[in-house]
Structure formats: C-alpha cells, structure tokens
Amino acid sequence: MSKGSTFQDRDKSWLSFNERVMLEATKTYTPTIEKLRFLAIYSSNLDEFYRVRMAAFQRAVADAKGKPKDVEEIKLLLRESQEIINRQQNHFGRIYRDIVLPELEEKGISLWKGEKLSSKQKFYLNRYFQTKVRGLIHFQKEKVFLENRQLYLAVLVKDDAGTLSMIYINIPNDSPRFISYPAASKQAFIYLDDLIRIHLDILLPHYEVHDAYSIKMNRDAELYLEEEYRGDIKKKILKSLSKRSGGAPTRLLIDERTPMNVRTLVGKSLDINIQSFTDGARYHNYFDFFGFPNAGDKELEYPKQEEVKISKIEEAKSMLDLIENEDQLLHFPYHPYDYVLRLFNEAATDNTVTEIRATMYRMSSSSAIAKALINAAKNGKKVVVFIELKARFDEQNNIDWSEKMRAAGVKIIYSIPDIKVHAKVALIARKREVSESKIAFYGTGNFNEKTAAIYTDHALLTSDSELNEELHRLLLHLENGKTDPKPNELLIARFNMVAKFNQLIDREIDFARLGKKAEITIKLNNLQDKQMIRKLYEAAANGVIVKLVVRGICCLNPEMSENISVYRVVGRFLEHGRIFRFENDGNREIFLGSADWMKRNLHHRIEVIFPLKDESLKLEIEEFLSIQLSAHRGTAVLDGELRNHFPFDEDSKVTAQEAFYNLLASKASASNVKLV
C-alpha cells in the first residue's frame, strides 16, 4: 500500500476529467477547429458543474445549520474546487491565445482583435448590425435579472447630469456568435460581442459610453421535487421547469479587467457581493465554439468516418428473423444507428409483432424511435413506454414526446417516486405459429439517434429466452409496481446487481488465492461508490489484477495498490459504454449495461447489466478492451493526484477510437461489406 487518500474527492476527480478534455486542444494530432470544439466541451461542462455541483455545495452550506464542522468542510471544498478551476481557466486562456489562434492565423482565419476597420468593413458590419442584430437587443437598468448562461454586456455610461450608472445589454443567443466580414485574409470573423460594442453609440445615443464588460450568470439547475414527488409528477416538473432559469446564482463570471468602481455598480444592481465574482476573459460562453464556421477546409476538422456495415444485417430481409436466430452486437457510432431505427420500424409494421415495451431516458427532439412507436400503436399493437421525466435538462423534451405518444394510443408510464429508471432496454413480442417469441434490445446508451453519433455505446440484440423473460418481468414491474423481476442472469439495480458484482469479485479473489490467473477489467463513466471501491481494493490486495477505464469521476486511488491501473480515453467521441470483464480462471464472463458504479446508480435507480453469451461477441468486446488499454496516443493514465499522464502519446499513429474503428472496418472488409 502507498500513501494517499483511500478515496479521491468526486468533484476534484470530475474537474480532472474536464481538464483532460481541455488538454485534447493541445495535441498536435487534433485538427484546429476540433481544438475549438474541445474548448467548447470544457466550457459547457464547467457551466453544468456550476449549475449542479457548486449549487449543491452552496445549498449544503445554507442547510448545515448547527453543524459548523460540516460547513467548514464544504467551504474548504468550495475554495479548493475554485482554485482548481482558476488554474484550469488560466491554462484554457493560454491554449486559446498561444495555440489555437496562431493555428487559425496560419490557415488564413482571423478573429478581430480591435484593429482599425476600413470604411468598407465598417459599412458592411453596420449593415449587418442594423438588419440582423439590433432588433434582438434589449436593455436593463432597473430591476436587473440576468438569465442563466446568457451573455450580457455591462455598459458603464454617464448621463447628462454626469451620473455614472450601468446598463445591461443582452448578447442575443439566437444570432451567430461569429460573424464573417470582408478582409484580406481567407476568412475573417468578429465576435457578436464586439459587433455590439462598436455600435453602442447607436444603441445608447443619450449617454456617454465609457466601456463595456462581458458578464454571465450561472444559476442553480435543481428542480427541487423531493417534497412533491407524490401526485402528478408531470405537472410538478412543468411547474419547476418554468422556475429553473431563475434559480439562485452560483457564479457571476466577469471580465477580469473590470475596474473596481464598475464591479461595485454591478454588485449593487445585481445584489451580489463583489467578493464572490469570478474573473474570466474578455469573452465568455466558449461553448459557442461548437458553431465556429468552416468555409470548407477539410483539414481543419476530423475526416469523415464512414459507418461500418454488418453484412448479416445488410443482407437480412427481416432483422427480427435474423435476431431470432443469432445475437447481434452493435457498436456506436462505428456501426449505423439506422439498424436500431430499422428494428423499431420493422416491429411497428410486422404482422407477427403483438407488443412493444421500452424504457426512455433521453430522447432526441426529432426521435425516429418515438415516431415508430406511435406508428406501432396506430397499427393495433400494444405499446407500453416508460418515460423518465427526471432526466436532468431533458425533462421538457421527454414530456413533449410522452404527450404525442399518449395521444396516439401508446400507454405511457411516468417516473417512479424516489428513483430514476436509467435502463436502456426494449422488448418486442412476436406471435409465432407454435408459441410466442421475444426479441430484446439491451443497451449502454439512450434511445437517441443524435447522441448515438457522438457517444460510444454498445447494444445487444437477442432472442435469448431466459434473459428476455427476466426483462419482461422487470418491465411489468415498472408498469404495475408488483411483479417481481426475479433476476438471475440479468443484473438489475435495487434487486441483485450489487450482490452479483460482489460474488463475481469474490470469485476472482478465490482464484488469486489459489495462485491462478485472476483479473478484473471494468470500463465506466464514473466510479464513486465506496463499497465497490473497497471491494476492488480487497481484490487487488489479494493479487487480482484490476484494470479500469474510467472516463469521468474516479474516486478510487490507483496508488493504493500496484495491481490497480486507471486509464482515461478521450477523443473524437464521448466514451459512454459500461463493460465488466471477469477472468474466471479462463472461462471469462463479460457484462455490459447502463450502470456506472455510483451510489445513485447502484441503489437509487433501475439499471440493467446484461451478459454476453456468444463467444464471438465476447471476443469482440475483449478486442475493444484490449485497444482501450493499449499504447494509443491520447490515452491517459491517472495517478493518485488525479493528474493525467500521457505515456503513449508518441507510440501510436492512431487513437484508441480510431484503432477500434479500423478493426471493425477490416472485419467488414473481410466479410465483403462495403463501408459506403
């Protein structure tokens, strides 16, 4: 055992992950506009951290009355988190100024930095401002309220009487943030913020404008439903959603060059202590870099990656028939998500299908799956859909789709009090000549074709009667609250998942004690549950090799044992799949599913982990895990101080994601399946 904390702090660990995202913008192999997008991801993630975690800290301080020790511990964590963020923000600024902007300049792309504009450029920008922007602007001087995540200019003005005051002008979020204008360079852009700045004299003709400073407010995103769960949860959520944008302030981000007299005026008008201001750069909302335009230089972005086709699915006249005869394993976004859409569309129109059941957590705003379920109900099939309304930031979208499906005859079941249903499953019942068959979808990611294009996930399509009967009982349980799922092969949170994982780990410990090969490989988004971490420590202490691929939060300290290693894969896509591999003395067992090892997932949600039984599919996941743990550029190794190390940066010409894509593509080529 080495020195160090037994458990890493979850929030500092998450900040370490976000830093890893930011560092992708420093890599020479990352195309320039993709670097901007990694900065955008970092910025968007940090905004959510303030809306959710920092807000939780602040509420905890307010609620810890009479517990001074708790208050001091929380305040310390707040300070330490803010120090980490400040350090990261400084690094962010250096990456933007010293790496990204020079690269853009080299490619003939410039961002206006205050240089003198020609009369032609002034005319062009004025015309744009007058016709595209001016009508979107509103002003606040009295009773100022800054909306969550919206940008504003705090403008210092002097009236005819010589009195200084602040006027707040919104930077419209329904206008492009980067505006092209004629220049000698290949592409020239000006921030919308600066376009408004240079026209302040037009907007405020009755004032003497001194200067303008960017500000942004983050607000608490919690819905506070706990005391109101009973009753009409949809009504409660709709009521709370209308209040979310007005949540308590968690951060006021302000231009670091803002002088003290302006800070005082801002604090007074917003009723916020100026000591709580967070200094930032001249520009905020860097997540707008997601929309940074590219005039067509393909080298500035990732090359197009054609989806890998699966010959058996491509050639099958019926996916339902194919799955009844053979399990299929899909890997997104490498394989087409169209296969999932095809499955639901086929089920909606196949005359042997009598019933479709599914759980929905985050649905696409234009969900083709929801449309297929609506069509299935119209075709006379029984369709039952469980929709989780408590999916943070997707509540309204889920409500909208639930109402559309209900109107079409789909039976909708809403959230269960006190728990979330996070499982990604569907079950299709077919009436055959002799008996009924069931076909199931088991996934690690949501039924969402948009996120499937950017999240790496896995899905099993199977007709396994034992698995699917257990799933059927779970879906009945969600419908009636009474049926016992009686899971045996499936691992279902709140029923048998924790006990089963403990058994699997204990078995590896027993093999290690007998001197046999014992190994556990786990891939997760987040690892926080102390009970499971202790179990991994116990396994490592007894000689079990523990290999972890953890994208985000990792409260386990890898320096607690030389038998533990933690990897972090960040790349073109967001790693999202959860995989569990147990050596089992050579008779390896592999499970996939929806559950991270966090307390909320293991004890306060309905999650489904499913086994792979087909040996060829097991081998495919083994190959995937081997690639994730191999020496590929961009793969980081996490240490006991939550630092990201890159020992493999120069050892490979491809990332782990590219390597797996190449593997799938070579298999498809061997099967004589064209990629296009």
What's the pLDDT band for 392 if we cut at 50, 70, 90?
A: low
| Percent over 70 (pLDDT), the chain | 93
Q: What pLDDT score does 673 carry? A: 53
Cβ atoms of 597 and 528 within 8 Å: the answer is: yes
Would you name the residues annotated as active-site residues? Answer: 422
Q: What pLDDT score does 56 carry? A: 79
Domain formed by 492-670, architecture: 2-Layer Sandwich (3.30)
Give the β-pairing of 455-462 and 605-606.
unpaired
Considering only residues 279 and 220, tell me which one the structure prediction assigns the higher pLDDT: 279
> What's the Cα-to-Cα distance from 168 to each of 146, 162, 261, 439, 512, rounded to whole Å?
9, 19, 16, 58, 66
Q: What confidence tens digit (pLDDT) does each residue in 133-181 have?
A: 999 999 999 889 998 889 999 999 999 999 999 999 999 998 999 999 9
| CATH 3.30.870.10 residue ranges for the chain | 311-482, 492-670
- Residue 66, sorted as left (phi over 0), alpha (psi -120 to 50) or beta, turns out to be left
311-482 maps to which CATH number? 3.30.870.10
Distance CA 566, CA 578 (A): 15
Helix H or strand E segment including 455: strand 455-462
Q: What pLDDT score does 111 carry? A: 93
Nearest to 520 by CA among 508, 530, 531: 508
Please compute the mean of the pLDDT values over residues 272-285 and round it to a whole number.
Answer: 87
pLDDT at residue 315 tops 90? yes
Q: What is the pLDDT of the chain when averaged over all its residues?
A: 91
Distance CA 280, CA 256 (A): 5
Q: What confidence tens digit (pLDDT) does each residue in 492-528 have?
A: 999 999 999 999 999 999 999 999 999 999 999 999 9
Please compute the mean of the pLDDT values over residues 530-558 and round it to a whole number.
Answer: 97
- Counts of helices then strands in the chain (DSSP H, E): 21, 28
The phi and psi torsions of 664 (rounded to 5 degrees) equal: -65, -40
18-300 maps to which CATH number? 3.30.1840.10
What's the pLDDT band for 388 if we cut at 50, 70, 90?
A: confident
pLDDT at residue 590 tops 60? yes
Distance CA 21, CA 39 (A): 8
Position of tokens 């310390």? 76
Q: What confidence tens digit (pLDDT) does each residue in 349-376 have?
A: 999 999 999 999 888 888 999 999 999 9
Q: What confidence tens digit (pLDDT) does each residue in 65-76 have?
A: 556 777 888 888
Q: What pLDDT score does 465 carry? A: 96
Q: What pLDDT score does 227 carry? A: 39
Please compute the mean of the pLDDT values over residues 574-588 and round it to a whole number.
Answer: 97
Structure tokens at 236: 């409660």
What's the pLDDT band for 239 if we cut at 50, 70, 90?
A: low
Q: What confidence tens digit (pLDDT) does each residue in 14-27 have?
A: 999 999 999 999 99
Helix (H/G/I), strand (E/B), else coil: 347:
helix
What's the pLDDT band for 614 if we cut at 50, 70, 90?
A: very high
Cα of first residue to Cα of last residue in the chain, in angstroms, is 52
| CATH 3.30.1840.10 residue ranges for the chain | 18-300
Q: What confidence tens digit (pLDDT) does each residue in 631-670 have?
A: 899 999 999 999 999 988 777 889 999 999 999 999 998 8
**CA 192 to mean position of chain CA atoms:** 27
Nearest to 415 by CA among 236, 242, 610, 247: 236
Give the β-pairing of 491-492 and 589-593.
unpaired
Distance CA 18, CA 551 (A): 10
Model pTM? 0.90
